[in-house]
Structure 1
Amino acid sequence: MDKLGLERDIDLALHLPLRYEDETRLTPLAAAREGDLLHVEGVVREARIELRPRRQFIVKLVEALGDAPGRIELILRFVNFYPSHQKTFAPGTRLRVRGELRGGFFGREIVHPVFKTVEPGAPLARELTPVYPTSAQLPQAYLRKAVAAGLSRARLDEILPPDLLPAGLPPLRESLYLLHHPPADISLHAIQEREHPAWQRIKFEELLAQQLSQLQAQRERAKLRAPMLRGSAGGLHEKLLAALPFQLTGAQRRVAEEIATDLGRPQPMNRLLQGDVGSGKTVVAALAAAVAMDAGWQCALMAPTEILAEQHFRKLIHWLAPLGIEVAWLTGSRKGKGRAAMLEKVASGAAQLVVGTHAVIQDDVHFARLGLAVIDEQHRFGVAQRLDLRRKLALQSLEPHLLMMSATPIPRTLAMTYFADLDVSTIDELPPGRTPIVTRVFAADRREQVIARVRDEVAKGSQVYWVVPLIEESEALDLQNATETHQQLGAVLPGTQVGLLHGRMPPAEKASVMALFSGGQMSVLVATTVIEVGVDVPNASVMVIEHAERFGLAQLHQLRGRVGRGSVASVCVLLYTGPLSQTGRDRLKAMAETTDGFEIARRDLEIRGPGEFMGARQSGDALLRFADLAQDGELLQCAREIAPRLLDRHPAAAQAQIRRWLGGKLEYLKA
């Protein structure tokens, strides 16, 4: 039960059915068709074990019409069975069985039906039978009893004041009892599709609890104290602006000012900086870091991979080292004396800027004065990791300011729910000089044509990424692996340097390969998704993604963003292996139709739903189990309007609502 998170009576009461089975009526076999889900009563005529084609247990059941058996026969087939089955299915036993009707070689049959013995005239169920989400170890019968017991014990009194409830919604107790035990005459469509008023009440309650928790987290954070970071006139911030070899876009200037204003306040900033691939988030982060360092505080920048962290490191060193800033480098691969020296610089405050992977938040890393933490690709980090980073300043009774960056823009409905406690800055403008990327979708049988195009591009002096999804053969997925593709492309492109980059290579080897590609000596780079974010090679103009149907939409968009970073016309080729699922088809269609990251994000949310889209923010738990952001916009808007009124006027009710729905997840909501 713990695995399902069912610790309290209210958790059991809120563990709602996935679907329902109708045991309130019997289906006459004469009226049944193949594929129908049957509920049949009959008497066992014969039961035996057969050994061909494999050992199985065969039961012949004669339909019971009234008290007497009829003449229509049904075969029950068990491939997996126990000795007790023979006793249960003794000839003459009356049974009710449920399952899908199939046409078999020896007549109509049900394979592995659900069954129970009954007496003649036994009453049928009066309610639909709930089927609950469960784990393999927990049978439905046990879970039904546990849920029914929890439902009877749980306190389901009305927490919300009547004047704050939307009109027309039934009471919570009535809604829950109906969803656990629906009467036989209920509209199955309305209840299965979650359109019934009882479902509307549950979804509203859940959305309200979520909005309350986010609003409360935001208000609690506003009570915390953070260092007031303000740059001085003619200080580091202005020097960096003057030294940059390019002009900021209007959008970059706007968001840099929003962040600088936040940093100057005594409350900790909790801001998300979002922008499409290549919109220039790193320079905005550098300007924020300059404000912090100018005020005498340290800044930490954490990225999910060493390649991306190193790219940030190189850019920041290039911009800030000439201005006298010392930048420390901390990753998992940095060990021994080099690491010890870096840790000493961080602890003493000599290193004003610390760049690295999750190694930045390890226990032995101590900051002298951490004022600003920047997390790149924040959805790739777990909630616990973000909490660890914030605790690095806890001893000083101050919180660091937090700036999270994401190249996966957040659709509006998601910003209104999961990110309701964040301030969001959006870079909605790409730097000048970027060329549009043309996206082409081809079936895998046109691979040779794609290789020919790659040969032409290399001859022109362009560079090419070729991305594959796996490093080694998998029996489950018949995919080309990185090593094979590397060898093949090396053979068909003689005289061309073809590199290989994957996650299992030692960091020094990865860095060496990346340096050759970045420097232009290597023309083709075969890689896994380690190059997904942040890698910036302006001369790369072709991106080939093999088995594109295996990638998520946001991932495909990130990969596509590795090209088109210079002035050369660029192309992204998506190679897929059929047959495509509907999801795969939708993803490839979206990629071909738009290069707008915000539109991509909107479609990605539609395809995947918020749980997957959000990644680690919920620490693996979908915060919204019942509400659907695409369909329940009106309920969400209503919950957003009611939440502040409830928190202000009825704080005890607001706390009870949060506890009822979210229990022990509150710590994660604050991350």
Structure 2
Amino acid sequence: MQRRRNQTTPTLNCPFAAMSDLPKLPAPTLARLAKLGIRCRLDLVLHLPLRYEDETHLYPIADAMGGMTVQVEGIVEHCEVVYRPRKQLLARIQDGSGELWARFLNFYPSQQKQLAEGRRVRLYGEVRHGYYGPEMVHPRVRNVEGGADLPEALTPVYPTVAGLTQASLRKLITQALAPPAPSDTLPPQVREVLGLMAFGDSVQLLHHPPTDITPASLIERGHPAWQRIKFDELLAQQLSMRLAYRQRRDRHAPVLAGNGQLVAALLAALPFGLTAAQQRVLAEIRTDLQSAHPMQRLLQGDVGSGKTIVAALAALVAIESGFQAALMAPTEILAEQHYLKFKQWLTPLGLEVVWLSSSLKTKAKAAALTAVAEGRADIAVGTHALFQNAVSFERLGLAIVDEQHRFGVHQRLALRNKGGSPHQLMMSATPIPRSLAMTYYADLDVSAIDELPPGRTPVATRLVRDERRDEVIERVRQACLKGRQAYWVCPLIEESETLELQTAVDTHLALSEDLQGLQVGLIHGRLKPDEKAGVMAAFAGNQLQVLVATTVIEVGVDVPNASLMVIEHAERMGLAQLHQLRGRVGRGAAESECILLFNAPLSEQAKARLKVIFETTDGFEIARQDLLLRGPGEFLGARQSGLPMLRFADLEADSELLELARELAPQLISDYPQAASDHLNRWMAGRDELLKV
């Protein structure tokens, strides 16, 4: 392939064009099109059909079997309005081979005229077995003359909104496809090497497929025309992420080389050694920190894999280099767990760790803010309070964000802006499937801790119907009498009229009665921070044997003596949440167990989720299955703010196209910058907020 080198970086600055090259449209039509995301001619071109109807040939009525969707033509022999029991319109059509009834439960007088006796009509619809024989309910009806021509292409059916008919959309899209045809953004030599159809040919075929193509091949999206569209969409996303990566590389960040003294001191004081995986990712992070460009690395690892100690060691590199570090977590419980752990590890090294949260009293908050602003605080740990306007760092070198997907793009950006351009380390205990990382996380460097520390015991998972609750309560009693502790998790705090779920408050009262002799605690999101801290401290100290909780304990809680987890209404929870909750046990040497209480009957989705969580403890496999069940939109959570979901491509089914797009993106930017700009403007124009974070 002949290539020309040009290092000009493509830009994304073309606004949506107006539909000035189409006939003037009334304001209501423009508003309806806008609801579909259509604001210009190109949007119409990319408004692709959901399915197709085959009106290219006629079926004899005698050959139209029940369940078939067909087109027939015949003479109306009889038409009447009947009441059986409600008002409906019935018409009998005969074509010489047989007869068929058309039935309308809702109809207009014009339809009654259209089906007047003696008129020739074409009906399109699904044939069913009715009271009088074969029938179509609400078929599409057209009056025709004998021998009228049939369409030469399949009829597309588009996504639409109320007030915008299929006929109107088809007319507008046909006008949008008229010459001049949309240009091809990919250079011919690139297209040839990849074996891709031309863009113009692809969209023409998808909107007006010829009769020799079956609707099934188009609906299943395996046709070369669909392959081109899906590849273009994936390529646009890869280009946008690659440009975001380049923009970050153009910024400057402090070089954090460190002298290794604090890191060595902490490693020597730890009662355990780092796993090979922890050592590997720490080396990757240290390499990034020594660069003059801001690190933006995602550290992912399964529940209990040891991400926190890696984050602490990374913070020490920043502190050794004369800078501050900040750690932000989404919940008070998780943030406080980090604060206590960092204080335990770093205070003996002579470092000051401060706590910042919205619940701090005025005097304590002022002292913490002053310590951070004056640079006396080496590391600040807290919740979203860290990115409030009142917080000012003297020299922030490293920002660590735990469970980063729970924060919105702008919240993470606000923390980054506290220090000009600090290095960023984002952590997640929800492993990101590779296909998702290659698309929505392609602007990040990713490190994975893919082994658990020694001594972590496997957690046995049991599925138990709610009818056997008494047996589960007895199981909790026996575990606690042997010196162990148990969690009992409920999804709601108080009664809901729409969800008949057992509440944490009621469960606490019931278990306190059933487990007399044992201390049963209660924690939920509406407790005051000091109340939560008191309950957690009591449970960690074994003053409470059973802790009834809502999902506030999903992440960050570490009580090695707790070996039993009971989760109520497990059928209502997501896979990631169930896996996180299960990870609260199995942190000590004792055999641990997670009991999933569920109510029957189960939906197909709930069955699928419980099957996955029962069969595997591998967080990466669970994440992959979760993506298949939920799709990328739900899986990404807050990360999707500003990121358009894929409209046409499927991450799993189109993995080969994704690999090709990933390989081509950097080459297109460096060798064909104009083509890269054109491609981005076609697919991402108006969405340049993508490149902000």
- Whether TM exceeds 0.5 here: the answer is yes
Aligned to 1:546: 568
Which of 51, 72, 78 is the equivalent residue of 2:100?
72
Conservation of the 8 A alpha-carbon contact between 2:101 and 2:136? no
* Cα deviation 1:433-454 (Å, max 9, x = unaligned): 2111111223333333222212
- 1:226 corresponding residue in structure 2: 253
> Which stretch of structure 1 is more off in the superposition, 260-269 or 620-629?
620-629
| 8 Å CA contact 1:44, 1:90 repeated in 2 | no
* Residue of structure 1 equivalent to 2:587: 565
Q: Structure 1 residues 545 and 233, CA, compared in 2 at 3 Å: closer, same or farther?
A: closer
The 1:452/1:222 distance shift into structure 2, 3 A limit, reads same
Kindly indicate whether residue 437 of structure 2 is the aligned counterpart of residue 415 of structure 1: yes
Partner of 2:475: 453
**1:204–1:72 CA distance, 2 compared to 1 (3 A):** closer
Does 2:537 match 1:493?
no
Deviation for aligned residue 1:538: 0.8
**TM-aligned CA deviation for residue 32 of structure 1:** 4.2
Superposed displacement of residue 286, structure 1: 0.9
| Code of the aligned partner of 1:374 | I
Query: Deviations along 1:99-147, whole A, 9 cap, x unmatched?
Result: 5555566776655x36455344465444333333445676545544454
* Distance (whole Å) between structure 2 residues aligned to residue 297 and residue 335 of structure 1: 27
Deviation per CA, 1:585-608: give whole Å up to 9, x if none.
332222222212122223223333
Deviations 1:456-503 (A, max 9, x none): 212222211222333344455443333333333233222323233333
Larger mean Cα displacement after TM superposition, 631-640 or 366-375: 631-640
Question: Do the aligned residues in 1 keep the contact of 2:642 with 2:690 (CA within 8 Å)?
Answer: no
Q: Deviations over 1:569-595 (max 9, x none)?
A: 001112233333443333222222221
CA apart distance, 1:640: 2.5
> Could you say which residue in structure 1 is the equivalent of 2:143?
118
Which amino acid in 1 is paired with 2:436?
L
402-411 vs 315-324, which deviates more?
A: 315-324
1:15-57 superposed Cα distances (whole Å, 9 cap, x missing partner)? 32222233444555544455444555674955548595xxx54
Q: Distance in 1 between matches of 2:188 and 2:611?
A: 47
1:215 alignment partner, SS class: helix
Matched, 1:404 2:421: no
Residues 484-493 or 328-337, more deviating: 328-337
Aligned residue for 2:588, secondary structure, equals coil
SS at match of 2:483: coil
Tell me: CA distance 1:215–1:452, structure 2 relative to 1, closer, same or farther (3 Å).
same
CA positional deviation for 1:378: 1.6
Change (3 A) 1:103 1:458: farther
2:228 is matched with which residue? 201
Q: 2:201 matched to 1:174?
A: yes
Give me the whole-angstrom Cα distance separating, in 2, the residues matched to 1:265 and 1:598: 30
1:642 partner SS = helix
Q: State the partner residue of 2:319.
A: 293
1:366 aligns with 2:392: yes
Post-superposition offset of 1:175: 0.5
Checking the alignment, whether the CA contact within 8 Å between 2:79 and 2:92 is kept in structure 1 is: no
Could you tell me which residue of structure 2 aligns to residue 184 of structure 1?
A: 211
Give the structure-2-normalised TM-score. Answer: 0.86
Residue 240 (1) aligns with residue 266 (2):
yes
1:514 to 513, 524, 536: 536
Three-state SS of the structure 1 residue aligned to 2:687 is: helix
1:546 and 1:492 mapped to 2: Cα distance? 17
Distance 1:574 1:653 in 2: 53
Match status 1:63 vs 2:93:
yes
> Of residues 299, 309, 312 in structure 1, which corresponds to 2:338?
312
Amino acid of the structure 1 residue aligned with 2:53: E
Cα gap change, 1:316/1:38 in structure 2, threshold over 3 Å: closer, same or farther?
A: same
- The answer to which of 143-152 and 553-562 deviates more is 143-152
Assess if the C-alpha contact under 8 Å between 1:28 and 1:40 holds in 2. yes
Contact preservation (8 Å) 2:79, 2:91: yes
Distance 1:26-1:333 versus aligned 2 partners, 3 A rule: farther
Alignment of 1:269-668 (within 5 A): 269-334=295-360, 336-394=362-420, 399-619=421-641, 621-668=643-690
* Structure 2: distance between partners of 1:39 and 1:446: 56
Q: Which moved more, 1:649-658 or 1:180-189?
A: 180-189
Match of 1:10 in 2: 42
CA distance in 2, matches of 1:324, 1:141: 75
Structure 2 CA distance for aligned equivalents of residues 409 and 328 of structure 1: 29
CA distance in 1, matches of 2:348, 2:275: 23
Give the letter for the 2:396 counterpart. L
**How much does 1:156 deviate?**
1.9
Per-residue CA deviation, residues 148-205 of structure 1 (Å, 9 max, x unaligned), is: 4444488621221122124432210110121122233312222111100101111221
C-alpha spacing 1:588/1:614, structure 2 compared with 1 (3 Å): same
Structure 2 residue ranges without an equivalent (≥5): 1-32
2:501 and 2:310 mapped to 1: Cα distance?
40
* CA distance in 1 between partners of 2:436 and 2:209 (Å): 32
**TM-score, normalising length from structure 1?**
0.89
2:112 equivalent to 1:89: yes
Partner Cα distance (1:618, 1:326) in 2 = 36
Residue pair 1:286, 1:316 contacting (<8 A) in 2 also: yes
The verdict on how the C-alpha distance between 1:444 and 1:99 changes in structure 2, with shifts beyond 3 A counting, is farther
The corresponding residue for 1:21 is: 53
CA drift of 1:402 comes to 0.8
Partner residue, 1:210: 237
- Find the partner of 1:164 among 190, 193, 211: 190
| More moved, 552-561 vs 448-457 | 448-457
1:280, distance to aligned residue in structure 2 (A): 0.9
Residues 436 and 16 of structure 1, relative CA distance in 2, 3 Å threshold: same
The code of the aligned residue for 1:8 comes to: C
1:626 maps to amino acid: F
Note the aligned Cα RMSD (angstroms): 2.9
- The equivalent position to 1:266 in structure 2, one of 292, 296, 303, is 292
Higher relative contact order (CA 8 A, sep 6+): 2
Q: Which amino acid aligns with 1:238?
A: A
The percent of aligned pairs where both chains have the same amino acid is 58
Q: Partner of 1:89: helix, strand, or coil?
A: helix
CA deviation after TM superposition for structure 1 residue 639, in Å:
2.1
Matched residue of 1:350: which SS? coil
In 2 relative to 1, CA 615–143 (structure 1 residues): closer, same or farther, beyond 3 Å?
farther
**Cα distance in 2 for residues equivalent to 1:564 and 1:334:** 33
Q: One-letter code of the match for 2:89?
A: V
Deviates more, 1:275-284 or 1:23-32: 23-32
Partner-residue secondary structure (3-state), 2:105: strand
Say if 1:495 and 1:221 are closer, same or farther in 2 by CA, change over 3 A: same
- In the aligned structure 2, how far is the partner of 1:12 from the partner of 1:473? 48
* 1:97 CA drift (Å): 5.3
- Label 1:4 to 1:87 Cα distance change in 2 as closer, same or farther (>3 A): closer
For 1:228-259, what per-residue CA distance to the aligned partner results, in whole angstroms no more than 9, with x for missing partners? 1122253x333333333432222222222221
For residues 344 and 564 of structure 2, what CA distance do their matches in structure 1 show? 27
Change (3 A) 1:554 1:92: closer
Equivalent AA in structure 1 for residue 437 of structure 2: A
Moved more, 502-511 or 25-34: 25-34
My pick for the range that moved more, 33-42 or 326-335, is 33-42
Shift of 1:541: 0.8
Inter-CA distance 181–388: structure 2 relative to 1 (3 Å threshold): farther
Contact (CA 8 Å) 2:100, 2:134: kept in 1 or not?
Answer: no
More deviation, 501-510/370-379: 501-510
Contact 2:238–2:665 at 8 Å: present in 1 too?
yes
Q: Work out whether residues 357 and 385 of structure 2, in 8 Å CA contact, stay in contact via their aligned partners in 1.
A: yes
**Which consecutive unaligned segments of at least 5 residues does structure 1 have?**
none
Name the aligned partner's letter for residue 217 of structure 1: A
